[in-house]
Amino acid sequence: MRILISNDDGIFSQGIHVLAKMLNEIAEVIVIAPDAERSATGHAITMHQPLRVKKVDFFNSDIEAYAVNGTPADCIKLGVQAILKDRNVDLVVSGINNGPNLGTDVIYSGTVSAAVEAAILEIPSIAVSMGSRNISTYNDAAGFIKKISSDILNSKEILQETIINVNYPTCPLNEISGVKITTLGITKYDNSFSERKDPRGNSYYWMCGDVIEMEQDKESDILALKDNYISVSPIHFDLTNYKTFEKLRSLGLEKYQ
């Protein structure tokens, strides 16, 4: 089994190091990740400047690793279709992210977007994030991904065009309630923008905000993580609203040219 690993925290983050080291025990691992943090870049790809790739010494290990001056989605696209074009990739794992990727936040997540790009390329993929930024160890989360990797790979026909989004609690291992298959919850923020002035008097803004507490479905990833469950959500990149599809047709818009 050959596993391609990426992330959005940068190639020298602790999460990707622990993940790669753990998965290297069961597979050939190649790391292709951004050369610096690219959090909240969503599914952006680089089209108007060159992508530069540098082979790097990955934490003094023998793991093959490349740093890319692009986004997480760039890393997967470039990795599969250029760097590893002559080597089949069986599984893509993105993470371990320093903090959660829950609910509608997955739209913004570079971690999840790397896994989405793999699914677009018809490769089974897992995105894995820690349930909070209060992290004492990544080892338990990496160990969980190691356990489920073969199951995900062997179920690729069932999970076709599906990303497995894992959020792992940061509580001690003996306090984890179990594993729960979840839906995406609802995340909303009360955003504010702090206006400041540069030395020339021009305005610039810092965005900040607080999470708004929302009522969540009982199957949501947000509630599962709150109850110390490992949240495992199947995500699909087809954004069509099928509930509205026929209703939209009934409006008669197709008569217009």
pLDDT computed for residue 215 by the predictor: 84
pLDDT computed for residue 50 by the predictor: 96
Q: List the structure tokens of 241.
A: 């609203």
Mean pLDDT check: name the lowest of 30-34, 203-207, 209-213. Answer: 209-213
pLDDT band (50, 70, 90) for residue 92: very high
- The pLDDT mean for the chain works out to 94
Q: What is the dihedral of CA 93, 97, 103, 108, to 10 degrees?
A: -90
State the average pLDDT over residues 52-56.
Answer: 97
Mean pLDDT check: name the lowest of 9-23, 176-190, 202-216, 228-242. Answer: 202-216
Q: In what order do the strands lie in the sheet with 229-236?
A: 53-55, 64-68, 28-34, 2-6, 91-97, 125-130, 162-168, 229-236, 178-181
pLDDT computed for residue 64 by the predictor: 98
Q: Estimate the crossing angle of helix 139-154 against helix 14-23, to 10 degrees.
A: 50
Question: In sequence order, what are the residues at sequence separation of 6 or more whose Cβ sits closer than 8 angstroms to the Cβ of residue 15?
Answer: 7, 9, 95, 96, 97, 98, 130, 138
pLDDT computed for residue 127 by the predictor: 98
Mean pLDDT check: name the lowest of 29-33, 176-180, 191-195. Answer: 191-195
Mean pLDDT check: name the lowest of 9-18, 79-88, 153-162. Answer: 153-162
Dist CA 209 CA 107 (whole Å):
17
State the average pLDDT over residues 178-187.
Answer: 94
pLDDT band (50, 70, 90) for residue 33: very high
- H or E element that contains 147: helix 139-154
Percent with pLDDT over 90 in the chain: 82
Q: Is the pLDDT of residue 257 over 80?
A: no
Dist CA 111 CA 127 (whole Å):
6
How far, rounded to the nearest angstrom, does the alpha carbon of residue 89 sit from its chain's CA centroid? Answer: 18
Dist CA 247 CA 33 (whole Å):
43
DSSP state of 107: G
Question: In sequence order, what are the residues at sequence separation of 6 or more whose Cβ sits closer than 8 angstroms to the Cβ of residue 80?
Answer: 4, 89, 118, 121, 123
The pairing of beta strand 229-236 with beta strand 162-168 = antiparallel
Q: List the structure tokens of 224.
A: 């599962």
pLDDT computed for residue 252 by the predictor: 84
pLDDT computed for residue 82 by the predictor: 97
CB 84 within 8 A of CB 102: no
Picking from 122, 58, 61, 67, the residue whose alpha carbon sits closest to that of residue 89 is: 122
pLDDT band (50, 70, 90) for residue 207: confident
Domains along the chain with CATH numbers = 2-185+215-255 (3.40.1210.10)
